[in-house]
Structure 1
Amino acid sequence: MAEQRLSPHSRRREAGHRLSVLVPRPFAGPLDYKFDTPLAPGTVVRVPLGRQEIVGCVWEAEPTHLPVDLRPPRSSRHVAFGSLRAIISVETRIPALPETLRHFIDWVAAYGLSAPGMVLAIALRVPAQGGGMKPMLGWARKAGPLPESLRLTPARNAVLAALEAHGPASTAALSAQSGASAAVIRGLAHAGVLEESVLEGSPMSATPPEPDYAPPILSAEQAEAAHALIEAVEERAFNVTLLEGVTGSGKTEVYFEAVAAALRQGRQVLVLVPEIALTTQWTERFAKRFGTIPAIWHSDLGQKARRETWRAVADGQQRVVVGARSALFLPFAALGLVVVDEEHESTYKQEEGVLYHGRDMAIVRARLAGAAAILVSATPSMETLVNVQKGRFRHEVLESRHGPACMPEISLIDMRDHGPERGLFLSPLLCESIEDGMKAGEQSMLFLNRRGYAPLTLCRACGHRIQCPHCAAWMVEHRRRRILACHHCDYTQPLMKACPACEAEDSLVPIGPGIERIHEEVQARFPEARLLVMASDTLTSPAAMEEAVRKIAQKEVDLIIGTQIVAKGWHFPDLTLVGVVDADLGLGGGDLRAAERTMQLLHQVAGRAGRGSKPGRVMLQSYVGDHPVMQALIENDFIRFMEQEAAQRRPGFWPPYGRLAAVIVSAPKETHAEALARHLALNGPHGEGMEILGPAPAPLALLRGRYRFRLLLRTRRDIALQPVLRHWLAGVTCKNDARIDVDVDPVSFM
């Protein structure tokens, strides 16, 4: 064969290197570009896309690191080298993405059938974006003499000395420097001694955490569990341990010993928490143990803090990060330990955009990094318990509360026999107990997992119910804000005087209680009580939550009224009574995990009582006292309840004994959504161990103006879902603005 010769012009055109670049767009995989020199995978570059210039990342051409079942089909598209567009520049200001992070991005995309570029967008969002920078605020000593009425305790003197020595600092940094609690610092601010100050420089702590700064005194049970966790970290290999312990058993102090072990190895630690509000008390405890503050990662941080944290993690400067599930996508240089606190929480599931479960992907993140993983809970999920039973996870148990504290006594109030007067919602028995507690100088809590004043507004003249115009959901009255709100799409409208259907004046009445209505009832029943409402729409920032915690700790509050935000991890030593206003809430509907979630939530709420030296009590208001959840709570037998749940799920291959994938079809017109859903069902996968359920209208059949139909693919545990789903959906064309969303391992069935 004659040798093919290229002209000098052709050789110049062909010079360079073909590179795969993943861009933050919903493409099936990386795009090909050319560049003069080879670039290592992970290099962040700027590339042309259409008429735009965007930031992308040099990527492996094929994700061979994925298990075979997760690998997407190879692309047959091949663009001639001469037709490739060139990379514009290398983003030298952004550190390269580590291999473990790139592999993690591929894994999350493949497991959830998401576009890998959209997963990359989560990891690159912070370093790639510009814009304004939100200033960081801290505390400074206010000019002038100290107030004459101020009582200078040793803790307050320590705070003032730390400010004198180090200058303005955040609450957490000042707490670490002085050894005083956040409550002491806030108290000085309220006394007019401190004032807010804009902090200069990096949010990173100048002092690295010291693993041996203030070792705790552990009980024999705690020490045994801590030793096992330390050994798991020292293996320097992937492993998973469930740390199960009753509420108040000191699980945090125990896993802090594993954190210390990772720090001694010079490795990094990631701790996930289900609610950002929890970082307030957690950070204070961390600072007392390790002498400095960790990095905090969540959506409320300013842009400057997020960028500097991202870079410090990539450089290995930041050793410990605590934050929300999105912290999984930080570019850790040397990850040695991943902790998932309250691992059972459903809030770890990302329900919009890229769908993934934070707990499950935390285990994948640890596996790819060769790190230890610790799952922490008083009420572990059934998935985790099954993995323990099958020997995949190790198991450490703390069976008793730390110190003198003991588990609270739980009793049931049968509302059929001891219900309140018409129009009220608190049983006289519960009110008597609250009154007794206040006389004894003790704090009480009322729990109702429902925001607002009332969940439904009804016309007593014609029976019309006020519904969201964009969702199949009732509008919730928020009386303080004088609005009706949809909690699904955030649509609001002012409160109305007349019924929109029959126009009858003053005919609209609230049905059922929200925490605002309970607050109103408590104010009337206990006019002298100092009340505090804790809900996501009343405490809208970490600072607001910190102030609420300070008030409770300083005993400036007699009675707390809260939603599920009060159930997670708080330690209030003087809280002795918890009253659950509606223990039955959450048991209804067709949710597979309704009973499990209700059990976990109420068990966690009950765990807020009696964490100090005084015994605690829990009172459950219920109309179905014979329900297995109520009986298990009264008998304090979580394990037996979970065994009963497992016995119900095992025969039908329901998770965790089988696999589920939800396919949600939506469109602006109901007929279009239903037609596409029926087409999918008729052409769906069939075979041994596979079953398609549906289509049926989703429980929320209308959401944000789109009609929704749901199909469920249920398979045996040994059948890989992803290849089946890919084959099923590969040839489907969506028309009329219809959309298909896939949720592998769904948590919500709405």
Structure 2
Amino acid sequence: MTAPDLKSGKTDCCRAGVLLPLPLADAYDYKLSVPARRGQIVAAPLGPRTSIGVVWGDAAGGVAEPRLKQAVPLDGEPALPPGLCDFVDWVAQYTLTLPGMVLAMALRSRQAFEPESARVAYIKGDGLPKKLTPARQRVLDTAADGLARSVPQLAEEANVTPAVVRGLIDCGALIPVDLPEFDPFPRPDPDFSQPVLDTEQDLAAHVMKGAVKAKRFGVSLLDGVTGSGKTETYFEAAAEAVRLGRQVLILLPEIALTVQFLDRFAARFGVRPAEWHSDLSQRERRRVYRAVMSGEARVVVGARSALFLPFKDLGLVIVDEEHEQAYKQEDGAIYHARDMAVVRARIEGCPVVLASATPSLESYVNAKTGRYAHLRLTSRHGAAVLPEVRLIDLRNDRGDPGTFLSPTLRGALATTIEAGEQAMLFLNRRGYAPLTLCESCGHKLVCRNCSAWLVEHRYRKRLVCHHCGYETGLPTECPECHTQGAFTACGPGVERVMEEFKLAFPEVRVAIASSDTMGGPAEMQLAIRAMMKREIDVLIGTQIVAKGHHFPQLTLVGVVDADLGGSDGDLRARERTFQLLHQVAGRAGRAEKPGLVLMQTRNPKDAVMQALIASDRDAFYDQETKYREVTHAPPFGRLAAIILSGHDGDAVRSAGRILAQTAPAARAVKVWGPTPAFYSLLRGQTRERLLVQTEKSVDIQAYLRTWLAAATLPKNVRVVVDVDPVSFF
């Protein structure tokens, strides 16, 4: 396809290449009755149906004129901004994803392009009812301010039934008016509540505001200890962008983090921002998408998919908790939202702020070497101080058999509860027990679709696979040796910790926070609010409680198993363990009262544990940096994974061998594998992996394209490429 004229934004007025949001490598040729411009959204016939498409560039010219189908611009001629079109191209090129699949992420709300429908509301008219009851009078008094309201709104505000309102409509006392389909998003007020910043915060805010004013690309790493006020500091940069009339995108790794964040945003700016995440209804998505495209939504807080929204004038991108693995999209188009946020900001010509108390090693190295501006916040804000961290050696300090809370941790819980303060117990394992096995023969209960243990969820009386969702009841006899009632739960999950806690502290108000026990973000937010209101004394949770939350009365954090996850067998295992434990420790002592963190471990001399108790993050990071540099691992080298999968195991293994044999020989490139994936069976499919490691200067995408184009693989084998993998499962 001929490259489009990006400077003029114009293409041939009769023919154009239209990219469809489908797994397609190229745009299709269509004819248009109007001059086409890149980004213009059209209705394009495709077989027996019509699809939404986007004018992407000039027509390839391989289709004769009589055979061309006509694409029709949508009403109002909406268009994706040029920067978003360029971003889609860049992501597709970098991740080796079909451009149509990436475009689909930018067209998440198809209804947003439909004509807006009017809402009917009512204001006070000249008519009067024959009988003016007190209820009717209340409605008329409510409507006297001239604001248009719907029937339910009038009924609620006047404390009457909808029938009373409709009676006033029938007699002309209330008259209809047409309103737009959606209420406008209120504009954040950058001067609503000016915070008092300390010296370090003020300096960091000054640097970020200067970057916003300059309207040019640059990356800042806002690197502050937990509780140092990173959010309040980058809010000042957001306020500057709003003053300049530009838009702001703030990315959060978890929807569950939004409740406190939105409250803090409203306290600073007077209104809540627009939200974008998977929990929105289709109508809400349509409203936000349109408001972003028009520029009405000035600040958007969202999950990683918000990167693909059609911002009219993006002036600042902020990635909070930038180290989080949740920013990696593992299905469909595989990308890392932190890295792509930097790319989106570069394309838009605006600054990007990466914020974290435990930055990714990649961002840390970029800041240390001067590629990123390094903005440090070294102390907690106000009177708060960092918590004391102590290790509990489980080899010497153990409770009764079958218990998981050591005597020292139990004693600290008792002291905290008696003082009227709050505590948190952290264990990054959902359910009751991660493994169920037969005591007679040792048979382990595994998923029928995956090579993973079934996790017992005792509250639901089910065994569940956390990878494919398969679930079943606990069998009465072992399928291997047929012994009756011989199954036993091995290891703790949060439900088992809850059971033990209740036995020890039956009168204490306690709750579990995990994705299994919470029905969704709304329930999680209710639990967070209950903790804030001190309706909960102890919160037992997985990693969803480990970051972003601020509980002023929380003074004790107990980590039930600090060793969990420290030896996952990939290069980032130690880094992730340190980040997670550091973040959960940071929940303690965030207000005036000092905090204490107790970490139960069987390996107290491990470098991660020693760095945590010494509060010496940088020494740990420097050690990890040297290891990565020696091994040419990221960020000093590049990695890409090739994952093969299919229902025919022999075909998958054969495809792995073919790929290994056809790998082009190249300097500074190593190919490892094939080898069975960590989960060699997942959702009923056999999985094999190959890993490509190159020096940093190598164009790894070009190498992969050449390699995969030359390989002839079975059609029943799926090939997925993960550039810059963060997990090795």
| Length-normalised TM-score, structure 1 | 0.86
- Classify 1:311/1:16 alpha carbon distance in 2 versus 1 (closer, same or farther; 3 Å): closer
1:135-188 Cα distance to aligned partner (Å, 9 max, x none): xxxxxxxxx9xxxxxxxxxxxxxxxx9xx999999xxxxxxxxxxxxxxxxxxx
Q: 1:551 aligns with which of 530, 543, 558?
A: 530
Q: 1:86 aligns with which of 63, 69, 93?
A: 69
- Give, in whole Å, the separation in 2 of the partners of 1:203 and 1:450: 42
1:191-229 Cα distance to aligned partner (Å, 9 max, x none): xxxxxxxxx986655431111111111112211111111
Q: Which residue of 1 aligns with 2:127?
A: none
- Classify 1:685/1:128 alpha carbon distance in 2 versus 1 (closer, same or farther; 3 Å): farther
Asked if 1 retains the 8 angstrom alpha-carbon contact of 2:228 and 2:380, the reply is yes
Q: Which residue of 1 aligns with 2:123?
A: none
Q: Which residue of 1 aligns with 2:130?
A: none
Deviation at 1:539, TM superposition (A): 2.1
Name the aligned partner's letter for residue 92 of structure 1: D
Q: What does 1:439-450 correspond to in 2, within 5 Å?
A: 439-450=418-429
Name the aligned partner's letter for residue 56 of structure 1: G
Deviation at 1:18, TM superposition (A): 1.6
Q: Which residue of 1 aligns with 2:160?
A: none
Asked if 2 retains the 8 angstrom alpha-carbon contact of 1:205 and 1:292, the reply is no
Deviation at 1:735, TM superposition (A): 1.7
Residue 274 of structure 1 pairs with residue 271 of structure 2: no
- Give, in whole Å, the separation in 2 of the partners of 1:392 and 1:232: 15
- Give, in whole Å, the separation in 2 of the partners of 1:31 and 1:451: 47
Asked if 2 retains the 8 angstrom alpha-carbon contact of 1:32 and 1:84, the reply is no
Deviation at 1:463, TM superposition (A): 1.2
Residue 45 of structure 1 pairs with residue 42 of structure 2: yes
Residue 285 of structure 1 pairs with residue 264 of structure 2: yes
- Give, in whole Å, the separation in 2 of the partners of 1:380 and 1:521: 35
1:329-353 Cα distance to aligned partner (Å, 9 max, x none): 1000000000000000000000001
Q: Which residue of 1 aligns with 2:128?
A: none
Residue 22 of structure 1 pairs with residue 19 of structure 2: yes
Residue 384 of structure 1 pairs with residue 367 of structure 2: no
Q: 1:632 aligns with which of 606, 611, 622?
A: 611
Name the aligned partner's letter for residue 444 of structure 2: R
Residue 221 of structure 1 pairs with residue 181 of structure 2: no
Deviation at 1:734, TM superposition (A): 3.0
Name the aligned partner's letter for residue 21 of structure 1: V
- Give, in whole Å, the separation in 1 of the partners of 2:38 and 2:47: 23
- Classify 1:645/1:673 alpha carbon distance in 2 versus 1 (closer, same or farther; 3 Å): same
Deviation at 1:434, TM superposition (A): 0.2
Deviation at 1:387, TM superposition (A): 1.2
Q: 1:368 aligns with which of 347, 354, 358?
A: 347
- Give, in whole Å, the separation in 2 of the partners of 1:607 and 1:92: 52
- Give, in whole Å, the separation in 1 of the partners of 2:81 and 2:112: 19
Asked if 1 retains the 8 angstrom alpha-carbon contact of 2:255 and 2:303, the reply is yes
Residue 307 of structure 1 pairs with residue 286 of structure 2: yes
- Give, in whole Å, the separation in 1 of the partners of 2:66 and 2:397: 79
- Classify 1:166/1:359 alpha carbon distance in 2 versus 1 (closer, same or farther; 3 Å): farther
Q: What does 1:470-549 correspond to in 2, within 5 Å?
A: 470-549=449-528
- Give, in whole Å, the separation in 2 of the partners of 1:165 and 1:611: 47
Tell me, what secondary structure is at the counterpart of 2:727?
coil
Deviation at 1:656, TM superposition (A): 0.8
Name the aligned partner's letter for residue 34 of structure 1: K
Q: Which residue of 2 aligns with 1:139?
A: none
Asked if 2 retains the 8 angstrom alpha-carbon contact of 1:94 and 1:127, the reply is no
Q: What does 1:265-664 correspond to in 2, within 5 Å?
A: 265-664=244-643
Q: What does 1:155-174 correspond to in 2, within 5 Å?
A: none
Q: What does 1:215-254 correspond to in 2, within 5 Å?
A: 215-254=194-233
- Give, in whole Å, the separation in 2 of the partners of 1:317 and 1:16: 31
| Length-normalised TM-score, structure 2 | 0.88
Name the aligned partner's letter for residue 400 of structure 1: S
- Classify 1:202/1:78 alpha carbon distance in 2 versus 1 (closer, same or farther; 3 Å): closer
1:573-628 Cα distance to aligned partner (Å, 9 max, x none): 00000000000000123111000000000000000000011000000000011110
Deviation at 1:564, TM superposition (A): 0.1
- Give, in whole Å, the separation in 2 of the partners of 1:678 and 1:455: 34
Deviation at 1:93, TM superposition (A): 5.3
Asked if 2 retains the 8 angstrom alpha-carbon contact of 1:43 and 1:57, the reply is yes
Deviation at 1:37, TM superposition (A): 2.6
- Give, in whole Å, the separation in 1 of the partners of 2:513 and 2:229: 24
- Give, in whole Å, the separation in 2 of the partners of 1:342 and 1:166: 42
Q: Pick which of 31-40 and 637-646 moved more.
A: 31-40
Deviation at 1:88, TM superposition (A): 4.0
Residue 693 of structure 1 pairs with residue 676 of structure 2: no
Name the aligned partner's letter for residue 69 of structure 2: A
1:639-697 Cα distance to aligned partner (Å, 9 max, x none): 11011111111112111100000011112122111111111111112222110011111
Name the aligned partner's letter for residue 360 of structure 1: D
Residue 732 of structure 1 pairs with residue 711 of structure 2: yes
Q: Which runs of 5+ in 1 are unaligned?
A: 1-14, 63-76, 134-143, 145-160, 170-199
Asked if 1 retains the 8 angstrom alpha-carbon contact of 2:435 and 2:444, the reply is yes
Q: Which residue of 1 aligns with 2:84?
A: 101
Q: Which runs of 5+ in 2 are unaligned?
A: 1-11, 117-133, 135-141, 151-178
Name the aligned partner's letter for residue 49 of structure 2: Q
Q: 1:119 aligns with which of 85, 102, 107?
A: 102
- Give, in whole Å, the separation in 2 of the partners of 1:554 and 1:80: 67
Asked if 2 retains the 8 angstrom alpha-carbon contact of 1:222 and 1:398, the reply is yes
Q: CA RMSD in A?
A: 2.2
- Classify 1:206/1:115 alpha carbon distance in 2 versus 1 (closer, same or farther; 3 Å): closer
- Classify 1:205/1:611 alpha carbon distance in 2 versus 1 (closer, same or farther; 3 Å): farther
Deviation at 1:16, TM superposition (A): 6.9
Tell me, what secondary structure is at the counterpart of 1:453?
coil
Name the aligned partner's letter for residue 100 of structure 1: G
Tell me, what secondary structure is at the counterpart of 1:730?
helix
Asked if 2 retains the 8 angstrom alpha-carbon contact of 1:451 and 1:514, the reply is yes
- Give, in whole Å, the separation in 1 of the partners of 2:354 and 2:286: 28
Name the aligned partner's letter for residue 410 of structure 1: V
Tell me, what secondary structure is at the counterpart of 1:417?
coil
Residue 681 of structure 1 pairs with residue 660 of structure 2: yes
- Give, in whole Å, the separation in 1 of the partners of 2:671 and 2:405: 45
- Classify 1:613/1:165 alpha carbon distance in 2 versus 1 (closer, same or farther; 3 Å): farther
Name the aligned partner's letter for residue 39 of structure 2: G
- Classify 1:168/1:365 alpha carbon distance in 2 versus 1 (closer, same or farther; 3 Å): farther
1:422-459 Cα distance to aligned partner (Å, 9 max, x none): 11111010000000000100101000000000001101
Equivalenced residues, count: 663
- Give, in whole Å, the separation in 1 of the partners of 2:350 and 2:13: 38
- Give, in whole Å, the separation in 2 of the partners of 1:210 and 1:81: 56
- Give, in whole Å, the separation in 1 of the partners of 2:407 and 2:466: 31
Name the aligned partner's letter for residue 126 of structure 1: S
